[in-house]
Structure 1
Amino acid sequence: MCGSSAIHIMLSVTFIVFLFGGLCQASRHVSVDIINDIVPNVQLALHCKSKDKDLGSQSLVPHQYWGFREAINIWETTLFFCHFQWGSQSKWFDILATRRDQYICEHHPCVWSIRPNGPCRLTGQEQCFPWNA
């Protein structure tokens, strides 16, 4: 009897550790700020969403920013993409890709400068990316 009680307690403790560990992982968040750096006097329209959540349409004057904060799922597959329009241009980009951004933007917002040639992440060491095809 004593042996089975010890095993039961060990399994219960293990379950609790995994449960609370998973909850801590699930509560991680990443903040994203998007800045209109297209060109002077050009308004930037954007619409961001994931497969489950639509953040709606926004319109930014030059150098204005808009942002959102999102929880990172336990599988680290959280993905938000944005469609950008200015003048006759229409582009899109994965603005929050957990595996790419979570550690760089863990303690500071992921700040994205939206430029004609592609978005540049200003957080950490500046890094520019091409538009999605």
Structure 2
Amino acid sequence: MCGSYAFNILFSITFMVILFGCLCEARVNVTIINDIGPNVQLGLHCKSKNKDLDSQSLPPYKPWGFITAINFWGTTSFFCHFEWGSESKWFEIFVTSRDYYLCKHHPCFWSIRPDGPCRLTGKEKCYPWNANI
């Protein structure tokens, strides 16, 4: 009986160390590049459900980024509002289910273009802007 109890304690501690060790390493680096065009300043404001990254202003072809941890449930997402000239667009710049596999070991690079954002990590993939609400 005592051996079984010790095994259960050891197994529980090992499981918790593995679980929390994996969670601590689950981070992604997201980098956004202003590819709207020459001489066009890009305003952006990114946030998640729990974290506001404040407003930023990117000169043409310049990057800005953030690092975030992935929550236990794998539901972490960030959306950004983009403005340039008379345009106002938004996009979910990071969605765990869509981006984590490609971005877990490499920075997740996004090129922001007038027609929509393009993820450059892995094979380039462009997306349409989210519909305005």
Task: Give the alignment's TM-score, normalised by structure 2.
Answer: 0.93
1:10 — aligned with what? Answer: 7
AA aligned opposite 1:20: V
Q: Name stretches of at least 5 consecutive residues in structure 1 with no aligned partner.
A: none
For residues 47-97 of structure 1, give each alpha carbon's deviation from its aligned partner in whole angstroms, at most 9, with x where no partner exists: 001111111100001101100011111211111111001111111111111
1:24 — aligned with what? Answer: 21
AA aligned opposite 2:93: I
Q: Name stretches of at least 5 consecutive residues in structure 2 with no aligned partner.
A: none
Secondary structure in 2 aligned to 1:104?
A: helix
Secondary structure in 1 aligned to 2:45?
A: strand
Kindly indicate whether the alpha-carbon contact (under 8 Å) linking 1:114 and 1:120 is maintained by their aligned counterparts in 2: yes
CA distance in 2, matches of 1:77, 1:17: 25
Identity value in percent:
59
AA aligned opposite 2:14: V
1:64 — aligned with what? Answer: 62
For residues 102-122 of structure 1, give each alpha carbon's deviation from its aligned partner in whole angstroms, at most 9, with x where no partner exists: 110111100000001110000
Residues 1-133 of structure 1: pairs in structure 2 closer than 5 A = 4-27=1-24, 28-133=26-131
CA distance in 2, matches of 1:94, 1:22: 28
Q: Alignment length, in residue pairs?
A: 130
Runs (4 or more) in structure 1 with deviation over 6 Å come to none
Task: Give the alignment's TM-score, normalised by structure 1.
Answer: 0.93
Secondary structure in 1 aligned to 2:5?
A: helix
